[in-house]
Structure 1
Amino acid sequence: MNIQKPKDKSQLQIKVCGLTKLNQIHELIDLKVDFLGFIFYEKSPRYVLNHLTLKQIAEIPHFKKVGVFVNKSIKGIVEFASEAQLDIIQLHGDEDEKYIKLLRQMIGESIKIIKVIRIGNQTSDELQNTINKQPTTINYLLFDTDSKAFGGTGKTFNWNILNDVEIPFPYFLSGGISLENIHQLSTINHQPIALDINSKFEIEAGNKDLEKIKEFLSMINK
């Protein structure tokens, strides 16, 4: 597998997750944000279907709409992906190899799959073992901070652990990324293809701070 590694921060892509407001979504499209993230997990304070319909999401003019799911039935994901015209499925639960292979069969090759790996107190060997278990039918990994509940924590894990493992997929970096810690990204040898930002760029859950996001984009694109 040939992986294109960013040569510098200017090549990093940005995913804004937990979107709930159409006016903000359209502003982010104007800002050329690469990935738009919609959370389809009922227990999340950013559960998108409390704010937008599947039809409204389908009508958003963007080609990297990401649906975030947690242990949802494959049939349910397939239905939502079709009705909301999602381009990418992000699996944030305990979905195993059998589940992912069946999902791939159901959605075909055109919809990409991101599998989230939550990082807590495991050793680098344990993390490597988890990475190695991922089926080749996924397209990306996403590393996030572990928590008792599913979903984002707003906290950062120790990024240095990524220097101790082999990562055979392009990956997203998530978990408490902010204006204050982005400079630490240079400590990672194998750079992510994208940064996933959420709670550190909000006024309240689902209500994004667009000025902060603009500042973040300007820092990344320097």
Structure 2
Amino acid sequence: MAIKIKVCGMKYPDNIAAVTSLGIDYVGFIFYDQSKRYVGNENKQYIESLDSPTKVGVFVNTSIPEILVKTEEFRLNAIQLHGNESADFCHKLKQQSSAIIIKAFGIDINFDWGQLDPYVGGVDYFLFDTKSSSYGGTGIQFDWSLLDRYTLNTPYFLSGGVDAKNIKTALEKKDPRLYALDLNSKFEVEPGLKDINLLTHSINSIKK
């Protein structure tokens, strides 16, 4: 199966249009107001009108009612949880929403892979990012060899410092559970504004 492509942290309609024209599979919008890529409500009507690709809303420690409201308002297809959301929270959210559920975890050498077990059945995908003291991406790659310790069957998005140079390494992993690459800060002119030329080159390399 071909690796899917998610471009996250989008803000501006013209840039969104240019990025989605590249044939990506997922486009991510951040609803965490402490992020430099916070989408706000300014371009709500434009985002709501997008029919493709799959629209992902990124939330951090947000209540289920608020997530459900934003999902409906922006017509989101997927919900990415990037905070300290418990397995019970994910299971409850999944019962109340038809959206795809993605749960993010920050990975480092001390990560307890066993903590993922209770989330099985409550999420559709995991997302593995670089461990950080704050919520959100670091632009730094974690040691991808740590993924060898992942024993579950739930497919995952690979995030954390994915850039034009290490995409090839990611693709060489040959892990059938690696579902998608999450492209963000390494492909930006500034936070929320993506470099179309760099993305075009990198996306073409993924699709070869």
TM-score higher than 0.5 here?
yes
Deviation, 1:77, is 0.2
- Deviation digits for residues 165-202 of structure 1, max 9, x if unmatched? 21321110000001111222255342411100000000
Segments of structure 2 that go 5 or more residues without pairing to the other structure are none
In 1: Cα distance, 2:94 partner to 2:25 partner: 23
Asked if structure 1 preserves the Cα contact closer than 8 Å seen for 2:109 and 2:146, the reply is no
Partner deviation per Cα, 1:110-155 (whole Å, 9 max, x = no partner): 31100111102315xx22x022131412100100001000000000
Identify if the C-alpha distance between structure 1 residues 63 and 185 changes in structure 2 by more than 3 Å, giving closer, same or farther.
closer
Quote the Cα distance in structure 2 between the aligned partners of 1:171 and 1:97. 16
Is the contact made by 1:160 and 1:187 (CA closer than 8 Å) also made in structure 2? Answer: no
In structure 1, what is the equivalent of residue 87 of structure 2? 97
SS at match of 1:48: coil
What is the CA distance between 1:51 and its match in structure 2? Answer: 4.5
TM-score by length of 1: 0.88
Cα shift at 1:92: 0.4
Identity of aligned residues (%): 39
Matched, 1:114 2:102: yes
Q: Which amino acid aligns with 1:46?
A: R
> Which stretches of structure 1, 4 residues or longer, exceed 6 Å deviation after superposition?
none
* Paired position in structure 1 for 2:198: 212
1:156 matches 2:141 = yes
Over the aligned positions, Cα root-mean-square deviation in angstroms equals 1.5
TM-score normalized with structure 2 length: 0.94
The amino acid that maps onto 1:38 is F
CA distance in structure 1 between the partners assigned to 2:145 and 2:203 by the alignment: 24
Structure 1 residue 38 corresponds to structure 2 residue 29: yes
Letter in 1 for 2:92: L
Distance 1:171 1:144, change over 3 A: same
The answer as to whether partners of 1:63 and 1:87 remain within 8 angstroms in 2 is no
Structure 1: where are the runs of 5+ without partners?
A: 1-5
- When the two structures are aligned, how many residues end up with a matched partner? 207
Q: Which residue identity lines up with residue 204 of structure 1 in the other structure?
A: E
Give the whole-Å Cα distance in 1 for the aligned partners of 2:49 and 2:63.
Answer: 24
